[in-house]
Structure 1
């Protein structure tokens, strides 16, 4: 046997593995094509998430004092006693002063702007995630599924190269890859599919979605229905058609979004985005439609951006060369200059090892995120608990039950009545007379959807810390606004059956949620 020649059995094994690898190449290429993401789509995800963060801050800003300070309706005392799984996890809980909360809002907004621009993208995105989680932890009573989806999407997106295109990072780097395929991109693509599929399965457990009746029931909920929704409720056949279309999109998301490529995937992704934007114009569900639309952006293929680029002025075009074609930069980023400096010295092996280790670590993180999405998503829809070793409240974020299994057949609004020392009674929200009649537009009874969520928490508190904090705040507000001491607070929950057939069958019922004297109200 000649030197360097493998023994015959080993050579045959090696040849067999090589042949198997070559034969499976077409399959592997097809799989890769379905999990590869155009880097312009990743840039769109980054910009969309950054803008949603800004919209969220702007939306919350007018109510900073009410929801995030000790002088508001959810003081630190209530924070300590409720949602204890978040205790110690909020920077916003370090102070109950208005100026401190305003400062954190401004800082978070600056990081969100930097994230949109793609400056130090992964670092800035991670800091934005910390601020977002801190804000959520300070007052979980305000949150709905859209907030959780935003938090999860931002976390998953950070394991992908969001700053590869259309970013300050790309300009500093001087190059850009056209597509990326990794465990991170697979996780980013799988996340919305888990949301849609889980929601479709939970809806199947109900009685109305797969019979075409659910959307008509949902749109009869006057608290949740706004703008365009108030128009289409007059057209039951349209609602039935939209009902079946919505269920089809949810149940068929893997077939429509993951399996096709090219133009078919583009058409499917645009259909989903259009559906979510339609939800935004018809339902008061917070950030959910925006987050859902952002989650589908990675499915937009190169053909979409190539077609769109034909209508963009050339001076605005993305002319960065491919990363593999990049020549030497006149002024590389500082981190690259540091790496090259040490490469030229005696630390070349250490630097090479560190770079390789960092890339391998990112691959491992991407794989772990993908497994987390699949495991917790499967646990939610199957009803089986995850192993105790990984059963942690902050990891269990894959429950997606919007309007599932069936939409509610009734809705509620609240009338906060304050009795003043001068013998008069006022509606603490409007300052006018107390009116227990059904309003012409129940959605207008809440300043924002977060007020609706908070009042649900007040109701569920049943005399606990949240309802006590809200009652104390109402007493102080009434005394300050009207110059007369407030003596007594009552909060009524008005419950109305949804007029599914267009007519109200009965008058709203009334339930006492809070009844408390103001003499014992905590000082602001």
Structure 2
């Protein structure tokens, strides 16, 4: 039940390396804005106010774009080495540390996908990622008297990796409200009504209410049942092939409906560890060699961390089960935070957001002209944009802006830092009378209409959603460049 084929681990390793490179590429596009003292979150704001908890981060050593570029380059080299399988245990550990480091540098742009990626890398340190299809395997087996490699590996580390993937889906399904996901079947409707992430195709699908109900129910059934089926003790290889295929289709579909960054791809990669040996055997007969085993020390550490992770996920249900909290000691919580094993899988739970909106930032230049700083256009418009998701350069910017509204203590601090960045950015690109003097930030919040809209059983539902919800103008702040008004 807890063995992993070494070839599946090899493909998993290569995919992890590719994901790290893709993650670095996306982050590098906003290197100056997101990771330097010139950007939206300088170190003097992050460290005293927004660092709970703040692991050690080498990205905090430098506040310049050049210093960050060097660290990004080093991380890219290690990610490439992981993809190729060179000194795999070492580069896996270093890649994990560098990933924790860049995530700690700007926690305001993090998604659930970032949590999953760092957890996959962590558990990857307890399994032989470089045993197959790697430079390590070529170098280590260059002699003439090469012994046959085992087909699979079985250890506490493999069990932890497999269970970690399943915990993501079990927990998020357990947190979901049965009313919108099953009884009403309106969850996908609400999810596709989040204009900040919905794609044009997702908006078009809003015109098919019966399909939305079906998708809502299929999603929660798959999240509950799929991870259970991979541990059925009979027909296991065939069941795992079916479950892996189902989740690949599920997450591929998400990319059509929503722009949520690397999350679907990281999720698909996580299921590669369940690909059975049956997929790799050409003649249909398994390799007779016994499974590869890990050292006792590695298994003991993996067992301790696995217990912490399981208990930590149980803490998410503390409101319903208050007896859970006392069994998790504070010393263990400290270890979980330091290693960033903390996790809370509540995606679209208990139901998708019912409030979203868009930003309007009217600014006044020194010559008195009005400009819209959010769209970088001359005319300030309060009308709903045709495509709100297109206003964000990428999902990192969307997540950052989501994390500064509504205004709370930490979010207000982040909003002030963002306002100073807006001044620096605009004035760095404009001279003389075109320099920015003052500006205001508004959030146009709209509430998604409830499920009775499903009574419109035709394509007019998308138009109904778009035009009958009246946004509420919310003032977030007024700023003079360099100080708060």
The TM-score with structure 2 as length reference comes to 0.86
CA distance in 2 between partners of 1:457 and 1:216 (Å): 23
User: Which 10-residue stretch deviates more, 486-495 or 112-121?
Assistant: 486-495
Match of 1:473 in 2: 421
Residue by residue over 1:152-183, the C-alpha shift from the partner in whole angstroms, topping out at 9 and shown as x without a partner, is 11101221111111111111122632111110
Whether the aligned pair in 2 keeps the contact of 1:92 and 1:134 (CA below 8 Å) is: yes
Q: 1:402 matched to which residue of 2?
A: 347
Aligned to 2:440: 490
Match of 1:248 in 2: 221
Match of 1:449 among 395, 403, 406: 395
Q: After TM superposition, where is structure 1 displaced by more than 4 Å over at least 4 residues in a row?
A: 321-325
Structure 2 distance, partners of 1:56, 1:64, is 12
- Alignment match of 2:121 (pick from 141, 146, 154): 154
Residue 382 of structure 1 deviates from its aligned partner by 4.2
Tell me the distance in 1 between the aligned counterparts of 2:342 and 2:139.
36
Note the C-alpha offset of 1:218: 0.8
Change (3 A) 1:323 1:251: closer
Mapped partners of 1:381, 1:284: distance in 2? 29
CA contact (8 A) 1:176 1:322 kept: no
**For the residues of structure 2 that align with 1:156 and 1:49, how far apart are their CA atoms?**
12
**Contact 1:170-1:176 at 8 Å conserved across structures:** no
Q: Distance in 2 between matches of 1:473 and 1:104?
A: 23
Which of 297, 302, 310 lines up with 1:366 in the alignment? 302
> Aligned ranges for residues 261-340 of structure 1 at < 5 Å?
261-306=236-281
Instruction: Give structure 2 stretches of 5+ with no counterpart.
Output: 142-147, 454-460
Deviates more, 1:255-264 or 1:508-517: 255-264
1:52 matched residue in structure 2: 19
Displacement of 1:58: 0.8
Answer yes or no: is the 8 Å Cα contact 2:448–2:469 preserved in 1.
no
- Tell me the equivalent position of 2:457: none
SS of corresponding position for 1:438: coil
- Report whether the alignment pairs 1:518 with 2:481: yes
Structure 1: 5+ residue runs without aligned partners?
A: 1-33, 311-320, 326-355
Q: 2:316 aligns with which of 377, 380, 398?
A: 380
- The one of 36, 49, 69 equivalent to 1:69 is 36
Distance 2:128 2:206 in 1: 43
1:430 lines up with 2:375 in the alignment? yes
User: What count of residue pairs does the alignment treat as equivalent?
Assistant: 445
Q: What are the superposed Cα offsets for residues 304-336 of structure 1, whole Å, 9 maximum, x if unpaired? A: 2236x99xxxxxxxxxx99889xxxxxxxxxxx
SS at match of 2:207: coil
What CA distance in whole angstroms lies between the structure 1 residues aligned with 2:216 and 2:280?
A: 31
C-alpha distance in 2, partners of 1:324/1:189? 20
Equivalent residue number for residue 363 of structure 2? 418
Tell me, yes or no, if structure 1 residue 100 matches structure 2 residue 42: no
Query: In structure 1, what is the Cα distance between the partners aligned to 2:121 and 2:55?
Result: 22
- Is the 8 Å Cα contact of residues 197 and 253 (structure 1) preserved in structure 2? no
2:55 and 2:101 in contact (8 A); partners too: no
**CA distance in structure 2 between the aligned counterparts of 1:146 and 1:456, rounded to whole angstroms:** 16
- Structure 1 Cα separation of the partners of residues 482 and 316 of structure 2: 46
Secondary structure of the residue that 1:180 maps to in structure 2? strand
Q: Does 1:171 align with 2:176?
A: no
Provide the rounded CA distance (Å) in 1 between the counterparts of 2:355 and 2:404. Answer: 18
Return the alpha-carbon distance in structure 1 between the equivalents of residues 98 and 288 of structure 2. Answer: 34
Deviation track 1:3-34 (CA, whole Å, cap 9, x = no partner) reads xxxxxxxxxxxxxxxxxxxxxxxxxxxxxxx1
SS in 1 for 2:404: helix
Contact 1:416-1:427 within 8 A present in 2 as well: yes
* Conservation of the 8 A alpha-carbon contact between 1:418 and 1:478: no
Question: Partners of 1:519 and 1:381 in 2: how far apart?
Answer: 45
Alpha-carbon deviations, 1:204-242, whole Å to 9, x = none? Answer: 4x5311221111111122212125423322222222211
- Contact (CA 8 Å) 1:156, 1:369: kept in 2 or not? no
Match of 2:331? 389
- Whichever structure has more helix as a proportion of its residues is 1
Per-residue CA deviations over 1:251-287 (Å, capped at 9, x if unaligned) read: 1134222225112221111111221122123222222
Secondary structure at the aligned position of 2:367 is classed as coil
1:313 — aligned with what?
none
| 1:390 positional shift | 1.4
Q: Aligned in 2, Cα 1:360/1:464: closer, same or farther, shift over 3 Å?
A: same
